[in-house]
Amino acid sequence: MKKKRRAVSSTGGLAVWSADRWSSVGLVSRSRLPAEMRDLGEDEEAKSSGYSGYGAEQGNTELKKAIAETFYKNTGITSDEIFVSDGAQCDISRLQMLLGSNISVAVQDPTFPAYVDSSVIMGKAGNYQERTGKYNSIVYMSCGPDNNFFPDLNNTPRTNVIFFCSPNNPTGYAASRKELEQLVDFAKNNGSIIIYDSAYATYIMDDSPRSIFEIPGANEVAIEVSSFSKFAGFTGVRLGWTVVPKNLCYSNGFPVIHDYNRIVCTCFNGASNVAQTGGLACLSPHGYEALRSTINYYMNNAEMMVELFTSFGLKVYGGRNAPYLWVHFPGSKSWDIFNEILEKTHILTVPGRGFGYKGEEFIRISAFAPKEAIYEASMRLKNHFHDTSDRYVLHC
């Protein structure tokens, strides 16, 4: 008896029931970790008598060197400025703890919700505004099609901290070199610290910077968080890192890195030795080459989805420097679009409103899936939008 099609929640946003299994477009479903990861793990086990004990809270020395060489070559960042962790999202909360509650915060709108949610937990968000879904003590920097997804810094109030994600989650927009130069200058002029999230940087296909530290002077105003989750499929394994440059100082001249080291050593016992061994294998020449092929696989999926939604007459953003799409349904509420696609096609997407006020009328669709699931989703969406796309296009 054929099983009934249905949909299931996923963190990534689009799930497809295909015959006898689920494919979730959003969870990194095609993690092709290199075979030498297993070999390296076996070598480490062979060297050890068994139990290895706690490692350094700041991370495995060789892994930190590999991260510096792979992602920060020619930026001036050194391995002793890198703190290996259990993921970027955990580091965002540690940074919030570091900076305390008596500071002001700016975020992109729309953006990854953890920046706002962790600010709320720390007591720095102020009162919630029911109508807009915003907090009155957070500065929301509008980033939409009308300003090419980059904030108008000339009209942005000064804050102590600026959370900035590039490629942006959910819009998929990667800031250009000129834009990041403007952001760094803005932070310098205002005495602000940029917390820069580069979790999707390995998916950048053009010449946009992959790190804030490619910009001269950024090491005086920025902290960068990143992750193995998206490019290496470590979502459940948990491995990431944060870069705190030695040149980044408080207004009194005291280096921020010393306080962050204290936070890490107090609140964290270090990333799993197993996860770090896997991360080291991923950054070996053969390992990273294998991961690049997986990145290209997902980006090919994204290209297919861009073509699909564009064929419906819809405006599609993202999918070129990030493995997800930001699709505009003018005049519609994002939760209504979410519900319609779920009920009619049994596909899960992510309502844009969940990423902020400026996410209304949008949905996010991720390309993290086997290609056959992308084909299946494409057929269902074609059948649905063949009869409905005109009512969305008329609002443009």
Is residue 187 a contact partner of residue 216, using CB atoms and an 8 Å limit? no
Type of residue numbered 351: P
pLDDT one-digit tens code per residue, 199-240: 999 999 999 999 999 999 999 999 999 999 888 878 888 899
**What are the structural domains, with CATH classification, of the chain?**
23-34+286-394 (3.90.1150.10), 61-284 (3.40.640.10)
The candidate with the shortest Cα–Cα distance to 349, out of 30, 25, 113, is: 25
Per-residue model confidence (pLDDT) at position 394: 40
CB 127 within 8 A of CB 135: yes
pTM of the full structure? 0.88
**Helix 285-311 and helix 35-47: axis angle, to 10°?**
150
**If we measure between CA atoms, which residue out of 64, 29, 33 comes closest to residue 287?**
33
Block residue for tokens 């005495």: 191
Q: What is the largest CA-CA distance in the chain?
A: 71
Average pLDDT over residues 125-136: 93
The percent of residues above 70 in pLDDT, for the chain, comes to 84
**Contact call for residues 63 and 71 (beta carbons, < 8 A):** no
* 197: phi then psi, degrees, rounded to nearest 5: -100, 115
Please report where in the chains the tokens 């495995």 appear, as a residue.
60
Q: What is the pLDDT of residues 34-64, one digit of tens each?
A: 555 555 555 544 454 556 678 889 999 999 9
386 band by pLDDT with thresholds 50, 70 and 90? confident
Distances 73 to 65, 69, 363 between C-alpha atoms, Å: 10, 5, 36
In 65-143, at which residue ranges do the beta strands (DSSP E only) sit? 82-85, 105-109, 128-129, 134-135, 138-142
What whole-number distance in Å separates Cα of residue 386 and Cα of residue 64? 51
